[in-house]
Structure 1
Amino acid sequence: MSTPTSVTVPGPAVPARALKIQSRLRVAETWALIKPYWKSEDRKAGLGLLAFVVALNLGIVYINVLLNEWNRVFYNALEQHDYTSFKALLIRFSWIAGFFIVAAISRQYYTMMLQMRWRTWMTGQFMDHWLSHQAYYRIEQTHATDNPDQRLADDLRSFTDGALSLSLGLLNSVVTLLSFVGILWAVSGPISFALGGTTLTIPGYMVWFAVGYAVIGSLIAHMVGRPLIGLNFQQEQYEADFRFTLVRLRENSEPVALYRGEPTEQAGLRSRFDRIRANWNQLMRYTRRLTFVNSGYSQFAIIFPLIVAAPRYFAGKMTLGGLMQMSSAFGQVQGALSWFVDSYATLVGWKAAANRLIDFGDAIRVAERQDREHTGVRDIEVDQADGAAIRIDTLALALPVRTGNRGEIRQRPLVAPFSLQIAPGERWLVSGPSGCGKSVLFRALAGIWPYGSGTVSMPRAARMLFLPQRSYLPIGSLA
């Protein structure tokens, strides 16, 4: 039996990376995240469902137009004490409401179906890229991003659900605006007033009031709520960190119990939860301000058209039915113009999820570029050769260091170049202080460490087995 040979490898430890909170809009990157599904192999089914959901939305807008006209006729019948018309209009309302209920239920059902198809496709794409070329391993080595499990499970769901609900809501607002702006223009009529001895007339004055009301509300909502994007981004990270620590404790319950490590684990859990609570307090403050703006905006919008139209009604220039029709049309136009205000809280949550997915995708692409099979280039070449010995030629090991906002990787030298040969039957011991690169050497021999330079030649006919520092068994049956 041969005498064990030792190799001592000195070097520094891997530095950690601090997460930068992403709160900017990143419109182009978000669009690049949305677009692939609608060009994928599942696009026909997805586009078909989308077209059907859009048609249902248009149908609901048309029903709202019918209800707006019904308001005018119904309140005129009440004003004129016309009981015959009153009964007929109630019957008409019944079938209009019936169609509305069927359309609303169908829209919700098929929207949820489309959400799941889109999420299924995106989850498959992200998992394929994350698991291929050992990108998951390289991301953990470089700390390129945090909690990929949370991004795959929660952020993808939030992204697809939010993208559909926001885009369909925007479409509904645009169609509603186009459908009701003409009605509001015609019903409100012109308004005249004297200014500096000159009489000014504004045609369709309620339309301009609705536009001004919505623009002012949108600007205020954006100024108040913009910090919520970054806070939502950070909240998702802290929640995921806390959940990961809980899972880690569950998986290591026996070692923790043997070492009596409960106080340490409890301190770590409390520390992570304190970050959740502190960030949540900030979310509460900004959400309170945004809710105040949104609630005041929506409540005042109920009486605003009545206040503006009251002079014409009391002057006898408008019937009760006309007043109610104008109030309803104003509500529809103002609601359509207020999509940004009404959806702001949903929008900031969705944008935070989108930014986390963008960062995750960037980290995967950076990791893939480090892999030989992906790029065709690798600093450490691991190949197979004839013979029975393991040969290492001018092998220099390095550590990955993240640089720049895009997470690019540069290499920091860890071990000076060395060469050796391990013959069959030999036993080698690699020794050195903690962090000097012992584990990195074995990762390079296994072909999973690309950082460095040199060549490793493995016997072509040999079956290699590398034991990790932590045991691993996949979830499932023993078979």
Structure 2
Amino acid sequence: MSTNSISSTPSPSSGPSTDTLAGKWAATKQQTQRVWALSKPYFSSEHKWQARGLLAAIVALNLALVYMSVLFNDWNKLFYDSLQDKNAAVFWEQLGRFTYLAFAFIVIAVYKFYLTQLLEMRWRAWMTSHYLQRWLKDQAFYRFELARYTPGNGQGQVPDNPDQRIQEDIGSFTGSTLSLSMGLLNSVVTLGSFVGILWALSGGFTFHVQGSEYVIPGFMVWMALLYSVVGSVLTHYIGRPQIALNFQQQKVEADFRHRLLRVREYSESIALDRGETVEKAQLELRFGRVLANYLALIRAQKRLIWFNSFFGQAATVFPFLVAAPRFFSGAIQLGELMQISSAFGQVQGALSWFVDSYSSLATWRATTDRLTSFEAAFQAVAPVADAVTAPADVAVRADDLNVCLPTGAVLLAHTQLQAKAGDTVLLSGPSGSGKSTLFKSLAGIWPFASGTVERGADAMFLPQRPYFPDGPLRDALAYPQAASTHTDAQLSQALVEAMLPHLADQLDRNDAWSQKLSGGEQQRLAFARVLLKKPKWVFADEATSALDEASEATLYQRLTALVAQRQGGLVSIAHRPGVAAFHQRRWVLEPQAEGGEARFRLVEKPA
């Protein structure tokens, strides 16, 4: 095992400064690299051809929609000219043409939507499965929680609310990435398709300076470019605060939801302590942060909407304002004026993609930053090595074992210990001496330990507070194995032996067992698991602390009989004197003199 730590992860404000043009380019490049790093795995995965095929179809449909816009622009000229010329034949002909153009447009738009949603769903499913696997592998979920209490890992440096990142951020990322990328593609292709049309239609703008005549060709194109550039720059400076505010909003919303789940999880304990007032204050505090940040976000969005509304409304009349002199002079007809207006709208809309998408870009940027920090945390935490399977006659052996706290304080240094088949060992020591931490080190899940640990593979650990999944009782009893690996008779017998006969006929009952059962019943259900699976070695950490002495004695008798029959052994942590009678050996954690290398040392004393 090796000592591991979590390094800092990016925050929404990290990265190069954006105060200069070079800084803006560097920030854009960094964002592109982050998106590519998050997107590439799916399009290179085992589903790559299916994913790439769907993406190619969506791109083709987007291009088809742009082509339909070109056809509609051409239709505008013919239709409005027929109105100006009062040409009924052409009018009805163009109405008929509009019918099949509109039908084709609708079909393309529907299938573009369907295939985009299908790709988004499959992409999200793959990413969710991928991150769930990584989060659960090598107890990463456990090590992330430990890192929260490690000095140097403050807010924003360890992945907060991983449940939200997997459940919400992945869905937001896949949907926004597809939507924004296809929107950008449409804008680029639309610009390429309509800029030539607008250039040809707009003609030149003639003006005189000091008696010399000057002509600006494609005047409407330059006006659309100027209009969009000014709008994009102003939008960026007005809307920039939304990036950090969106990032923070996702965090405070998740914190509030997490506190609500904690109240639900510990409802009984809170009720017994009459903690409703405290919990209400804490929930209101967190919800207050949600509202405060949301209010700031609303104000930032209001400023941007003010500008975008003026910008969009002005864009409607701007091409008529510029082209009106040519129309009134007779240089162009109504159809050509409408065609100029349509082409200008397409070019200006393409150039203004950044303006129109800024709020979505801000949310997407925040989501990308959160997933990037999540990814960085996975890479920063080295996996804990699995325990080496020991020979059959050895339960556990540790050589030169060093056990530390997340703070870096050393609990044990250069510790040697060994328990052989047939041994029953009681581990004791003062509170805070690291008994449970030593057990976690022997189990191979404590990341702040180093040295060599060998442990028999056929072992089970009984924690003081066992975990039971919601659902049928048979699943809670067999966890983490499938209940189908045991017969109903075996499951019921284990419950009877664990002094839970009233549950023996309720194997198919669905319930939240961690809430339904008392503390003592939960510990007896954990013993039922051991009696069902019959391991050679059992490590029990205060596993009977919620039981009366008579029940404790009965269960320990059955436990010692089981490990003796299996030619294994037992290592227990317990404070009650009655438990000592079931153990032949005793390990004691004793305080060391101040200034020593470690706070405690492990010694063996008579049982």
Please tell me the TM-score bracket, short chain as reference: 0.7 to 0.9
Instruction: Report if aligned partners of 1:30, 1:355 keep a CA contact under 8 Å in 2.
Output: no
Which residue is 2:65 aligned to? Answer: 60
Per-residue deviation at 1:86? 1.3
Over residues 407-448 of structure 1, what are the superposed CA-to-partner deviations in whole Å (9 max), with x where a residue is unaligned? Answer: xxxx553433333444644442433344x5333211101111
Does residue 1:125 correspond to 2:138, yes or no?
no
Which residue is 1:466 aligned to? Answer: 461
Per-residue deviation at 1:116? 0.6
From 264, 268, 271, the equivalent of 1:254 is 268
Determine the C-alpha separation between the residues in 2 that align with 1:231 and 1:92. 49
Per-residue deviation at 1:95? 1.3
Per-residue deviation at 1:220? 0.9
Per-residue deviation at 1:383? 5.0
Does residue 1:153 correspond to 2:185, yes or no?
no
Which residue is 2:106 aligned to? Answer: 101
Instruction: Report if aligned partners of 1:22, 1:355 keep a CA contact under 8 Å in 2.
Output: yes
Indicate the larger mover: 185-194 or 32-41: 32-41
From 321, 327, 350, the equivalent of 1:307 is 321
Structure 1 stretches lacking a partner, 5+ long: 1-14, 374-380, 402-410
Which residue is 2:222 aligned to? Answer: 208
Indicate the larger mover: 99-108 or 469-478: 469-478
Instruction: Report if aligned partners of 1:238, 1:272 keep a CA contact under 8 Å in 2.
Output: yes
From 425, 428, 431, the equivalent of 2:429 is 431
Distance 1:307 1:83, change over 3 A: same
Determine the C-alpha separation between the residues in 2 that align with 1:17 and 1:389. 35
Distance 1:391 1:40, change over 3 A: closer
Determine the C-alpha separation between the residues in 1 that align with 2:191 and 2:342. 13
Which residue is 2:377 aligned to? Answer: 363
From 162, 165, 170, the equivalent of 2:176 is 162
Letter aligned with residue 293 of structure 1 = F
Which secondary structure does the structure 2 equivalent of 1:453 belong to?
strand
Which secondary structure does the structure 1 equivalent of 2:459 belong to?
coil
Determine the C-alpha separation between the residues in 1 that align with 2:279 and 2:10. 26
**Superposition pairs for residues 59-458 of structure 1, below 5 Å?**
59-143=64-148, 144-367=158-381, 369-372=382-385, 384-385=390-391, 387-388=393-394, 390-400=396-406, 413-422=410-419, 424-434=422-432, 436-458=433-455
Per-residue deviation at 1:154? 0.4
Distance 1:175 1:388, change over 3 A: closer
Which residue is 1:12 aligned to? Answer: none
Determine the C-alpha separation between the residues in 2 that align with 1:134 and 1:161. 29
Per-residue deviation at 1:358? 0.9
Over residues 250-273 of structure 1, what are the superposed CA-to-partner deviations in whole Å (9 max), with x where a residue is unaligned? Answer: 122222222222112111111111
Per-residue deviation at 1:30? 2.3
Letter aligned with residue 124 of structure 1 = S
Distance 1:340 1:427, change over 3 A: same
Determine the C-alpha separation between the residues in 2 that align with 1:383 and 1:432. 31
Which secondary structure does the structure 1 equivalent of 2:390 belong to?
strand
Instruction: Report if aligned partners of 2:397, 2:418 keep a CA contact under 8 Å in 1.
Output: yes
Distance 1:439 1:22, change over 3 A: farther
Letter aligned with residue 95 of structure 1 = Y
Instruction: Report if aligned partners of 1:397, 1:453 keep a CA contact under 8 Å in 2.
Output: yes
Determine the C-alpha separation between the residues in 1 that align with 2:272 and 2:110. 56
Over residues 306-334 of structure 1, what are the superposed CA-to-partner deviations in whole Å (9 max), with x where a residue is unaligned? Answer: 11111211222111111110000000000
Per-residue deviation at 1:84? 1.7
Indicate the larger mover: 161-170 or 46-55: 46-55
TM-score if structure 2 supplies the norm length?
Answer: 0.70
Per-residue deviation at 1:354? 1.0
Determine the C-alpha separation between the residues in 2 that align with 1:39 and 1:427. 52
Letter aligned with residue 464 of structure 1 = A
Determine the C-alpha separation between the residues in 2 that align with 1:416 and 1:306. 83
Per-residue deviation at 1:20? 7.0
Determine the C-alpha separation between the residues in 2 that align with 1:154 and 1:145. 14
Determine the C-alpha separation between the residues in 2 that align with 1:399 and 1:21. 27
How much is the aligned-residue C-alpha RMSD, in angstroms?
A: 2.2
Per-residue deviation at 1:239? 0.8
Instruction: Report if aligned partners of 1:23, 1:233 keep a CA contact under 8 Å in 2.
Output: no
Distance 1:437 1:290, change over 3 A: farther
Which secondary structure does the structure 1 equivalent of 2:284 belong to?
helix
Letter aligned with residue 296 of structure 1 = F
Over residues 266-285 of structure 1, what are the superposed CA-to-partner deviations in whole Å (9 max), with x where a residue is unaligned? Answer: 11111111111111111111
Letter aligned with residue 22 of structure 1 = P
Per-residue deviation at 1:162? 0.4
Determine the C-alpha separation between the residues in 2 that align with 1:467 and 1:129. 25
Which secondary structure does the structure 2 equivalent of 1:123 belong to?
helix
Indicate the larger mover: 246-255 or 325-334: 246-255
Indicate the larger mover: 443-452 or 22-31: 22-31
Which secondary structure does the structure 2 equivalent of 1:372 belong to?
coil
Indicate the larger mover: 418-427 or 105-114: 418-427
Which secondary structure does the structure 2 equivalent of 1:62 belong to?
helix
Which residue is 2:582 aligned to? Answer: none
Give the number of aligned pairs: 445
Indicate the larger mover: 188-197 or 177-186: 188-197
Based on CA coordinates, which of the two structures has the bigger radius of gyration? 2
Instruction: Report if aligned partners of 1:312, 1:318 keep a CA contact under 8 Å in 2.
Output: yes
Determine the C-alpha separation between the residues in 2 that align with 1:158 and 1:228. 16
Distance 1:289 1:17, change over 3 A: farther
Over residues 337-380 of structure 1, what are the superposed CA-to-partner deviations in whole Å (9 max), with x where a residue is unaligned? Answer: 1111111111111111111111111112222x14226xxxxxxx
Letter aligned with residue 472 of structure 1 = Y
Structure 2 stretches lacking a partner, 5+ long: 15-26, 149-157, 475-482, 484-607
Distance 1:300 1:412, change over 3 A: farther
Indicate the larger mover: 98-107 or 245-254: 245-254
Letter aligned with residue 474 of structure 1 = P
